[in-house]
Each structure stands twice: as C-alpha cells, then as structure tokens.
Chain A
Amino acid sequence: MTRYLAGRIFQAFIGLVFITTLVFFLVRLTGDPARILMSEYAPLELREVLAERLGLDRPLYEQYFSYMGGLLTLDLGRSFSGQPVIDVLLARLPATASLAFASLIVAIVLGLPLGILSAVYRGSAVDIFSRTVALFGQSVPAFWLAIMLVLVFAVILRIFPVAYSQGIESYVLPSIAIGWAAVAGIARLVRSSMLDVLDSDYVLMARAKGLPPTVVVVKHAFRSAIIPVLTFGGLVLGSFLNGSVVVETVFAWPGLGKLTLDAVNGRDFPVVQGAVILIAVFFITINLLVDLLYAFADPRVRYR
C-alpha cells in the first residue's frame, strides 16, 4: 500500500513540474512579454525598465530557475497592483472553492438518485427521463444556463439574488449552473456502474442467500458500483474549477475565475500565471486524493 502511495505522489509531483514548466513557457511564447504588458507604442526605454523590473532581461534558464524556486517557497511574484500574487490568489480562493463544492453537492444530490433509480428500474419511465436529462445536461453551456437562470429566477420570479453575498441563497443559482453539466455525467456513470454490478454473479448470490432487497442493493451493489464514481467525482470537481471562469463572470463572483479574466484583460501577467498554476495544482491534488480514496475503498488495490 505504501508503495502505491509513494508511486502516486511521485507521479503527482512529476505532473506538477510538467505543468508549471508548461505555463512558464506558455506565458513567454511571444518572445517579449514586456511588449505585451505595455502597448506597442510605449517608448523603448520604458519597456526596458519594465523588463528589468520583472527580470525579463535575464537569460531564460535563469528566469526558469528563479521561477521554479519561487514556486517552492510559494512566491509567485508580484501583481501589477503591487501585492504579492499569492496573497491575491488566496484572497479569492475561498469564493471559488466554496462554489465548486456547492456545485459538487448539487451534481451529486441530483445525479446519484437519478442514476440509481435508472439502474434499478431499468427500462421504466424514470430511466428514460434521467437519460434525457443526461443528454440535455451535457449540451447546455454553463454561462448561458447561468444567464437564463438569472432571467427566470432572479429577474422574473425574484426568488434568488443575482450576485454574490455571504448568504446561502446566492450560491443556489451559480452552483446549479455549474453543477448541471455534471449531473448528466454522474447519473450516467452511476447508472452504468450499477447495471454492471446488478448483473454480476455476487449480486445474484446475495439474492440467492435470501437477503432483503435493500441489503442487496445498498450493501452489495452500491458499494461496488460507487468506486468508479469516486474517480469521476474528482474529475468533476476539477472541471468545476475550470468552468467557474465563465459562471463567475455572470454572477460577478469574487473568485479565481473572474480574477483570471480581469487579470488577462488588465494584462497583469503574474496574476494570470499564478492563477493557472493554482488551479492546475488543485486538479492534480484532487486526482491524487481520489486515487487514495479509491485504494481505501477497493481492498483489491490495497492488498496488492
């Protein structure tokens, strides 16, 4: 088990290195970031000063090492507003993270029962209904859904607020907008996973032992079926971080997504770089945690 753990952590680390390197080069692709940071019409001397300030005149490998070194100490440079990037990011992190979790809850609360009912009552009206929902869920763009939700619930019906506030109500619309796409994925996966398991020999055996149907479904079927859904849940959470960019814009949500967009528009490069890295780091960490959870849930992996 520890070998497995160590292996996964090492893999995660490699992934991190790869991604941060990728981002480094991505940002410097155009050759002269200073030219982009300031408009082309700025006088050359001014750009040179800027370049020096940002350390852009140093050789590439030096920049790379100081960049990587900085990452290790969590120093992501300074934003153009003067604040350290890491502080700016951390200030906006809670809003995005809490929204991502809220969206996950929405996706699970809606998707899990749909998937289970769909599998247990396969072929019935419930099954067809949930499969239709699944199809729709993956076809609707989150930002448009957000706008339509705002139109219906906030403007016309006036039930929910339009923008961010500390209260729970403000989480409702955005988490539905983000979580909706995942409801489909989760329901489908739960359904197919349950179907596989319900058809299995050990479920037949459980029935042959005369066990009550709830025990058969919950203890035997669900326990095994949930395992692949866990991995998917992790991926889903990661994709929420990605999708938050657009939804945060609609709701003026003070999170990382909106920060990135504003930073891109305001050409605040260090912040952009930092935000992308942070989200990628989250992605990798979540995947790692999910793998560990998987190992815990499936004893076959544990006692390798």
Chain B
Amino acid sequence: MRGRGPRTVDDALLRVEDLHTHIGVRGGVVKAVNGVSFTIRRGETVGLVGESGSGKTMTLMSIMGLLPVSAARIVKGAIWFDGRDLLRENEAAMRKVRGARIALIMQDALTALNPVLTIGDQVSEPLRYHPGGYQRRFQDRVLEVLDSVRIPNPAARLNHYPHQFSGGMRQRVLAAMALGPAPDLILADEPTTALDVTIQAQFLTLIRRLQKETNTSALWVTHDLGVVAQTCDRVNVMYAGRIVESGDVRRILRDPKHPYTLALMESVPKLGEKRDRLYQIAGQPPNLLNLPPGCAFYDRCPLRMDVCREQFPPATPLEDGGSVHCWAVSDGRPTAAPAAEAGR
C-alpha cells in the first residue's frame, strides 16, 4: 500500500506511510516498526495481526504519539490524519486529537482505569477537557454512552469505583470512555484478551454495532484470528516490524498467500478437522536486535530462497486490493501448504 499524499479521493481517514519506530535498548536498537504502511477508510475496521513482538502495539502508540520518550523514537515516516501529518504536530496539537478524534481502548480495564477515581469522573473526562459539541451537556452524554454499552442503571453507578465492576463491565466502561466524544477512529489494543470467550463475543458484537451506527473507523490490534474474523473488514498481517500481507478479511482467511499467514491459519485447529498434534511454526521468533536485511521469516519459511535472505520483497498487489510481500508469490510460484518439517 503506497501512500499518495494528504487528502485523496479514496476517503482515507488515516494513512500510515512507511513508519519506522526504533527502540534503544542496552544491546543496540530494536526496529520495532520497520517500514509499515496502511490505510483506514471511514467506517472501516482494519485489523493488525501478529505475535507479541511483531510491532503492532508500537504502531498503535506511534499513531497516538504516546511512545516512551526516553527509549523510543519515530525515525521515519508520516501518519496522515485529516490532512495533517501527526508526526509533525506538536504536543498541544496532539492533545486535541487524542481522546476527541482518535480514542484508545486498552487491553486490561483494571489497570487502565484509575482505582481512586469514580467511573463517572473518568468517563466524563474526555468530554470535559475537549471542547466540542458535548461540553455543556456532558453529563447527559456520559449516561447516554454508558447506556449504549449496556451498563445497567448507569445513573446509579456513576459514583462507583472500577473495582466494583465485573471484568466484562469494566471493559465496556473503557469502550464508553473512548466512544463518549464520538471519535473518528478507535484504536483498540487487544481489548478482549483478558476476557472470557463468551464475554468477548458480546463485547465485539457490541462494539461492531456501535461503530456501524456512528460510522466510526477502528484499528484492531490482536493476535487472535477469531477476533479478526468477527470484527474486521480488512487485515494487515505483521511480522517482525513489517507488514507481510494485507487484504480483505474473508479472502485472507480463505486463501492466505504469505507463508506466515498460512502458518498462522494452520495453527488454529478447525472444527471437524482431525489432528494428532497441534501445528507449530518451526523455528524461533526473530531476534529483533539483529534483523536480516531480507525477509525476517526466512529461517522458518518452508518456501525460502536465497533472494529472501538478501532483499525484502516488494508488494505484490492482489485482487482484493491488498498485497503480499513474498518472493515465492511474486515469482509466480503457487503457494504450497507448509511442508512436513513444519511439525504436522
């Protein structure tokens, strides 16, 4: 996905262009985000899928401008939002965007909520500190949004503290906090990871519906393909700081092109399928301090070739508007199922 400049006619709300975020650690520099580009259109939900360490959370934090300043730096790239490059904005301008236009839903509601403040206080904060349509009647809006996330009897619970809520309800409070100011874009960092599966399904359905009602876009960061299947329109698959495949969610689930995506799909046992052992991707995750110049999946890839080690493959466009970065695919070679060595 190549960016073309600020306002374009394809209705892009957010355009990330060639983002590079580096983290300085004792051993050297970790290229957590190593050239990531993607777009999110209005009303669209885009998934960012990968293992831990793939760089997905760092991408999220880079968009928000909430990187730990001492250790992390964005060294290259642009993030276009509403005609402006967020990376060139100063802190005061970013503060106007955060919460009001771009909202964050974090993974663990228990730690994301301040334990000594009431939830009424916390949910109303983004409304209170961001001038906007709601400023005068923000109390009503708080009740409205809490009701929309199905918190029973919200008026009575405004003075309650986070620890007085169940896990599922807390997560919905987080969603209410994000949705209150009616943002254009929601960034969700694995918000269902800490929940039970059934609560998770409820939560996802709820958010999806609210999104549809308000035409709010979302970037959904997760490692869980089930979540992706339920919520996303399009998906970007990340590995070692780079996007290796992107496209329509149904196409990817049905017909993944990149060997890593294929391997991820294989790792999820399917209903009705009979297996003796769980599939495991061979090899170890890459050492982020010492990334090879070529494709980072090289060591674990059943289709690897010499060129893969030396050069990172360019994008091969696909029918659904997505693309894949793989020498094996762009070469015209048919993608094969992972070989026996991969542990089946």
Direct A–B contact present (CB less than 8 angstroms): yes
Assuming the contacts A201-B106, A300-B115, asked whether A207 and B129 have C-beta atoms less than 8 A apart, the reply is: no
Residue B309 CB within 8 A of the other chain: no
Cβ–Cβ contact A299 & B106, under 8 A: no
Inter-chain contact A210/B97, CB cutoff 8 Å: yes
Is the beta-carbon distance between B70 and A123 smaller than 8 angstroms?
yes
| B1 located at the interface, meaning its Cβ lies under 8 Å from any Cβ of chain A in the complex | no
Give a binary string over A172-216; 1 marks a CB under 8 Å from any B CB, 0 the rest: 000000000000000000000000000011101111111110010
Residue-by-residue, is B219-262 near A (CB-CB < 8 Å gives 1, otherwise 0)?
00000000000000000000000000000000000000000000
**B117 touching A211, Cβ below 8 Å:** no
Tell me the residues in window 112-158 of chain B with beta carbons closer than 8 Å to chain A beta carbons: 112-117, 125-126, 129-130
Contacts of B208 in A (CB 8 A): none
Size class of the A contact interface (CB-based, 8 Å)? 20 to 34
Q: Are B115 and A210 in contact (CB under 8 A)?
A: no
Are B95 and A210 in contact, CB atoms less than 8 angstroms apart? yes
The reply to whether the CB of B328 lies closer than 8 angstroms to some CB of chain A is no
Decide: A215 near B116, CB < 8 A? Known: A202-B111, A207-B98, A209-B98.
Answer: no
Binary CB contact string for chain A from 112 to 126 against chain B (1 if under 8 A, 0 otherwise): 000000000001000
Closest to A199 in B: B68
Q: Does B87 contact A (CB under 8 A)?
A: no
Encoded as 1 (CB less than 8 Å from any A CB) or 0, chain B from 95 to 114 comes to: 11111100110101001111
Q: Which of A200, A201, A207, A210 has most chain B Cβ within 10 Å?
A: A210
CB distance from A5 to the nearest CB of B (A): 19
B64 at the interface (CB under 8 A from A): yes
Q: A209-B177, A210-B95, A210-B97 are in contact. Are A220 and B114 (CB under 8 A)?
A: yes
Measured CB to CB, the closest approach of chain A to B286, in angstroms, equals 27
Cβ A212 vs Cβ B113 within 8 A: no
Distance (whole angstroms) from the CB of B178 to the closest CB of chain A: 9
Contact at A303–B114, with CB atoms within 8 Å? no
Contacts A207-B66, A209-B126 given; indicate if A201 touches B108 (C-beta within 8 A). Answer: yes
Q: Does the CB pair B66–A204 fall under 8 Å?
A: yes
- Residues from 199 to 257 in A contacting B, C-beta threshold 8 Å: 200-202, 204-212, 215, 219-220, 223-224, 227
Question: Size range of the interface on B?
Answer: 20 to 34
**Majority DSSP secondary structure for residues of A touching B:** helix
Most B-side CB within 10 Å, residue of A200, A211, A297, A298: A211
- Residue B164 interfacial (CB < 8 Å): yes
In the docked arrangement, what's the CA distance between A123 and B70, Å?
10
Indicate if B41 sits at the interface (CB-CB under 8 A): no
A201-B70 in contact (CB<8A): no
A223 to B116, CA, bound (A): 8
Asked if residues B115 and A212 are in contact (CB atoms below 8 Å), the reply is no
The answer on a CB contact under 8 Å between A210 and B177 is no
**Cβ–Cβ < 8 Å partners of A123 in chain B:** 70
Report 28 cross-chain contacts, Cβ distance below 8 Å, ordered by A residue: A200-B111, A202-B113, A202-B114, A204-B112, A205-B106, A205-B112, A206-B114, A207-B98, A208-B66, A208-B98, A208-B99, A208-B106, A209-B98, A209-B103, A209-B125, A210-B94, A210-B96, A210-B97, A210-B126, A220-B117, A223-B114, A223-B116, A223-B117, A227-B116, A299-B161, A300-B116, A303-B161, A303-B164
